[in-house]
Amino acid sequence: MKFEELNFGPAVMEGLSAMGFENATPVQAETIPIILEGKDIIGCAQTGTGKTAAYLLPILNKLATSGNDEHNVDAIILAPTRELAVQIDRSLAGFAYFTNTSSLAIYGGTDGASFEREKKALKEGADIVIATPGRLIMHLNMGYVKLDNLSFLVLDEADRMLDMGFLGDLMKIISFLPEERQTLMFSATMPPKIRSLAEKILKEPEQVNLAVSKPAEGVFQGVFLAHDDQKIELIKHLLSAKEIPSIIIFSSTKANVKAIDKELRKANFNARSIHSDLEQTEREEVLLKFRNRQVQILVATDVMSRGIDIENIGLVINYDVPHDGEDYVHRVGRTARAESTGVAFTFVNSKDQQKFYRIEETIGMEVRRLKLPEHLGEPPSVQKPRKGGQGGGSRRKGGGRKGGQRKGRPGRSSS
């Protein structure tokens, strides 16, 4: 579907044209008409499918075509992390360039001066506010944020917000909002707790389900069985074999992230790391340099996997096995965004083999085992999957129509 078929106003279409976007992705083609009809929606789609534009574009169109009071907050978009809030704000700036829509991103980890700027903007009115829950509650508790005329509430990555313990914060924020509003909830997964939340805050929502619990088709996936003391040398071997301009290495612990970063720099690789010990300004500086290709290799804790929205990442390395199948999909989803291609390698030690079999069961496919380079020594011995895991086959979980769900069509990414 082409964006021109969605009947956006001229200001939004001009922004899309300037950014070179013509075709909607499946999640955009399915959700935008529903949102334009004024209905609540729960959208389930994996990372990299263009869901940010799926809600930003219809909200912008509504504000641009119906007019908006400059002293009101018309839309609140809640995100689980500062990085995702910044990413959404950056996307919004591009789409809204030819409109008169104002926006404000508010999140923790900044100084007192930033808080005062946020306070001033909220008191004067900002059309669209993008916020992390904790920071928004700080402002709401002070009584100067007027939300009586709010039209839209968006929960982006709702599953991650619940995983991070934000349910109480979300319900408190919602208590400040008018009941008559349009609520849009997007989640990469649809566990029972998400369905329970949807029942509480959405009114007769339409559901669009394009989450298929598997990485994008363009990702070449491979597994190396490797002992922990072989992993860093394996990284060096892989990085030396081919020149790749943009690489992300994920690990579950800050200690490993720091160790990988140190060893790669010692070997003269252009690497930097991001983790929670860094100040927010330091993290933003590293991400900016990585986005601008001044840094080739980004080493990050896996909590950052959903907050990095950077195009054309050629290689993702899972230094250790992600917690579960959905985390695996999100880490691998940093490469092969929409129609692009990429490579993802996962290092599996002896104790994590059963965990990875369970991941393969979740994504419905067996990931190819690759041979460890001989100079690194012998890999761990192969363990057979225990009962309840699977170690082979090509069974895949597919999307498809079920109940009120809608099935998507191929398209091009726009965010």
One-character DSSP codes across 90-148: HHHHHHTTTS---EEEE-SS--HHHHHHHHHHHHH--SEEEE-HHHHHHHHTTT----T
pTM: 0.61
CA–CA separation, 109 and 22 (whole Å): 37
CA 126 to chain CA centroid, Å, is 24
- Is the dihedral angle over the CA atoms 149, 63, 90, 250 positive or is it negative? positive
Whats the size of the chain, residue-wise? 415
Quote the pLDDT of residue 68: 59
Quote the pLDDT of residue 401: 31
Quote the pLDDT of residue 397: 32
CA–CA separation, 32 and 112 (whole Å): 38
What domains does the chain contain, in order, with CATH numbers? 3-209 (3.40.50.300), 219-376 (3.40.50.300)
Quote the pLDDT of residue 321: 92
Q: At what angle do helices 133-140 and 167-175 cross, to 10 degrees?
A: 40
**Each residue's pLDDT tens digit in the chain (415 positions)?**
889 899 899 999 998 988 888 888 888 999 999 999 999 999 887 666 788 999 999 999 999 887 656 668 999 999 998 888 988 998 898 899 899 888 999 998 767 788 888 998 888 888 999 999 999 999 999 999 989 889 999 999 898 899 888 999 999 999 999 999 999 999 877 778 888 999 999 999 999 887 555 676 778 999 999 999 999 999 999 999 888 889 999 998 889 999 999 999 999 999 999 887 888 788 889 988 998 999 999 999 876 655 666 767 889 999 999 877 767 877 887 776 555 678 999 999 999 999 999 888 878 789 999 999 999 999 999 988 875 444 333 332 333 333 333 333 333 334 4
